[in-house]
Structure 1
């Protein structure tokens, strides 16, 4: 078998291409390691060789830029991180590598509960709403339609904040609807989900995506298509989308009347008879999602709420032990965050010590907690341990902590975090440093725990380059880029699972 020519290449002195992950009309996608960020897995998409001309290169660059800007506005669209041109003049862009289950796989395997259906569709609508509203690019408003909404282009992922996160894939074939600019009339899409006007090659707007969404919603609930063509040809589907009435949803499915009506409205043959925009759809979906949310799995959001459950004696004694801690004389009494080990009868406990204002400690008692870790091997192994406390009333409190992975403290802290999957946060007040004022616990996602242990092992084999400051500055830059994305996720979580407080 001929080896893929791209596999094992290093792209832009940064991305190590590991294997081909998929290919399509616009190009090939590779799983790759971002060596600058400690081997974080990314997806690299190359433009197809047959499209190598200046017009298509310009289109590709524009597409990558607009997708990057679009993903800055919503967590429900795959994020573009970087783009460029390789040594052979082939354009590429770098995306987050997503691991999860496509909606098409879910439909094939099991029936979807109404509550889960509503959660998935709500998130998909929020992503499409963002695209349809458009973004400003080079001074012009660009409204974006997807043109290929279908179950295989929705990915369902486990998420430490939201529980289940929906991402819309493949905006790479999206058509840009630009104000005051003529559109190229060409057919793109998947026959079973195409709107009648798309099959005619007409100019499209957001209502074409709404038709495709209607087909997908019907399929999710009924586990069959709303239209059955005479044959699987273009002509067969053309006739079905234009002439056949959608099959009614079966009464035994117990679909709420307003949802049934909405789906049939989305499947209207004429665009003018469909909902005008995603906002109209969300007016129906969002209240239903709240009503039918009782059987959902609890969101993976930690709240320091009293009375949720009684702590075990071990937890209580650990908290008491933390509250007895006093501020180290060797540390300055100022706003600062640093790691520290506490020895307990049950073993060593990993903790993060934080000094902030007394009022801020009080304000943060009911905050949502979130953590993430970044690792850089170049030029010096360095770990960034990110903790953020968030509440809608007080916004985010960022608590970054940098660990030099060539020191025993950095190595041991990273390994303990990976092994325990949790840490305590000890809060001390600037106005009164005599004792710890408050303690919070924060758990670490199992996948992050695996990465922490891997990074601890990796760092042992790396040389001490004596350039820890440079690595720290690189991680600071990545942290600033990451902040709005984390904040977007936390705000979305508050909207989806509002605090009872």
Structure 2
């Protein structure tokens, strides 16, 4: 196709009065993907996928719209599925949908992958697949999905300030609902990519989530070795049909003898490649259980971007001024807050100016245990679909265990912007501890230091938040942040366990 001929109608105008197309960045069997600027969001980069001219008929338009709907719905539940948020038809009659622009690399271009990265990436792929397999609600009933085209080319790996590498599953164009009577054209007949298809998928009949598990097994084999489990004589359907139905896969040890895989991982991959669905892991949860066990046994540390923010001296703080101490001593628990174990942020008006603080209520015994805990903090920010900040504070002792103190801040709230500005300017914040037992008094004030790099990011995020249009999608962003938070907790703990415990506390 002539690229210039395709986009020329949009060069002088906006697609849907909103998206300025810039350049072709990808193409596949059904469509082309263009980089564009979302003018409504101040020129934010987005990806616009058009249905190829060849396929513009009613049936394919239905499939295309369905793909957009699935991505939009599933991405609200999983961070690991590409997010779609607009659909339409251009003035020239070409259906399109708009996705988040992800500046990363296809997994197929990164093969083979070291074992340490393999575990992290595969776990994320599984979480995204698990979300699809759990299904979506249609007319009050939940229908599971099968992706049917799991392969490295449909997995995008993008840099991420929290996870190091973030996985996004692409292309739900041939995904199939299970037990849904109104499933449209893509549900019957053979669909997929031959080297990754399960035996039952090649038959074109009914399949379930175990078919995706087979494809995942092929992909895991390829991620570690750079090769596929079979080497048929040709790439024709008949050769792959024979391989998937009748030929045993090669062993990883034979393809890559230099790899020293844990037996548990080798057995998992080979089980996924079983010919009969009943001989494979029966759901993604079983695979995640094995991966989690392997991650714990390998004692992986945090990614370098997190390790660089850790300072073993973070808990050794300068003494607070007498005026500041006296100010804290006068504080009382807010009447509008419940008497229970909670944490919330609040600006304090002190002689030294506005100060962001965390107020928390704990049992007396726990406060006593936490006084000498390590203190760690980290901040996570997302701009879409709504600017939201997660402020994480962790009080940690190897014997006592972790005490997580997460706070979610809507960054289009001016008061929250002031809170974050105070954090960035002052570089530390107090944790004001009130007792759960009466008279609920303030017994201790701890202090947590914020790394210089994080303070710089906070200032940048404030400016970004001020420039974005107003949306009512705070809950969706909060749910996405909760996913990231859950994923990074074990890594933070592993990281802290690998460092010497240097502790001190300010208390009144």
Where in structure 2 are there 5+ consecutive unaligned residues?
A: 328-332, 335-343, 395-401, 435-439, 498-508
* Mapping 1:285-300, distance limit 5 Å: 285-294=291-300, 297=303, 300=306
| 1:228 positional shift | 0.5
2:158 equivalent in structure 1? 157
| 1:248 positional shift | 1.7
Q: Are positions 1:230 and 2:239 aligned together?
A: no
> Which whole-Å deviations, capped at 9, do the CAs of 1:259-306 have from their partners, x for residues lacking one?
2222222112222222211122223222012112436635738999xx
Query: What is the alpha-carbon distance in structure 2 between the residues aligned to residue 162 and residue 168 of structure 1?
Result: 16
Task: Pick the aligned partner of 2:408 from 370, 390, 398.
Answer: 398
Q: Are positions 1:214 and 2:217 aligned together?
A: yes
* Mapping 1:188-207, distance limit 5 Å: 188-207=191-210
**Alignment RMSD, CA only?**
4.7
1:484 equivalent in structure 2? 479
Determine helix, strand or coil for the equivalent of 1:219: helix
Query: What is the alpha-carbon distance in structure 2 between the residues aligned to residue 177 and residue 7 of structure 1?
Result: 42
Q: Are positions 1:96 and 2:100 aligned together?
A: yes
> Which whole-Å deviations, capped at 9, do the CAs of 1:391-411 have from their partners, x for residues lacking one?
79666423345599xxxx99x
* Mapping 1:23-38, distance limit 5 Å: 23-38=27-42
Structure 2 length as normaliser, TM-score?
0.72
Q: Are positions 1:260 and 2:261 aligned together?
A: no
Determine helix, strand or coil for the equivalent of 1:178: coil
User: More displaced, 213-222 or 77-86?
Assistant: 77-86
Query: What is the alpha-carbon distance in structure 2 between the residues aligned to residue 450 and residue 325 of structure 1?
Result: 27
User: More displaced, 46-55 or 190-199?
Assistant: 46-55
- Cα gap change, 1:320/1:129 in structure 2, threshold over 3 Å: closer, same or farther? same
Query: What is the alpha-carbon distance in structure 2 between the residues aligned to residue 52 and residue 43 of structure 1?
Result: 20
Count residues with an aligned counterpart. Answer: 452
Is the CA contact (8 Å cut-off) linking 2:130 and 2:285 kept in structure 1?
yes
2:505 equivalent in structure 1? none
Is the CA contact (8 Å cut-off) linking 2:427 and 2:455 kept in structure 1?
no
* Mapping 1:41-440, distance limit 5 Å: 41-107=45-111, 111-180=112-181, 184-250=187-253, 252-294=258-300, 297=303, 300=306, 309-310=312-313, 353-354=355-356, 357=359, 359=361, 366=375, 368-372=377-381, 374=383, 386-389=389-392, 396-400=406-410, 424-425=428-429, 438-440=447-449
Query: What is the alpha-carbon distance in structure 2 between the residues aligned to residue 28 and residue 323 of structure 1?
Result: 64
Determine helix, strand or coil for the equivalent of 1:172: coil
Structure 1 length as normaliser, TM-score?
0.73
> Which whole-Å deviations, capped at 9, do the CAs of 1:185-216 have from their partners, x for residues lacking one?
23222222222222232222212211111111
- Cα gap change, 1:144/1:373 in structure 2, threshold over 3 Å: closer, same or farther? closer
Query: What is the alpha-carbon distance in structure 2 between the residues aligned to residue 178 and residue 444 of structure 1?
Result: 51
| 1:426 positional shift | 6.3
Query: What is the alpha-carbon distance in structure 1 between the residues aligned to residue 130 and residue 160 of structure 2?
Result: 21
| 1:447 positional shift | 11
- Cα gap change, 1:444/1:46 in structure 2, threshold over 3 Å: closer, same or farther? farther
Where in structure 1 are there 5+ consecutive unaligned residues?
A: 328-332, 344-350, 377-382, 460-470
| 1:35 positional shift | 2.8
Is the CA contact (8 Å cut-off) linking 1:115 and 1:293 kept in structure 2?
no
Query: What is the alpha-carbon distance in structure 2 between the residues aligned to residue 373 and residue 282 of structure 1?
Result: 26
Determine helix, strand or coil for the equivalent of 2:192: coil
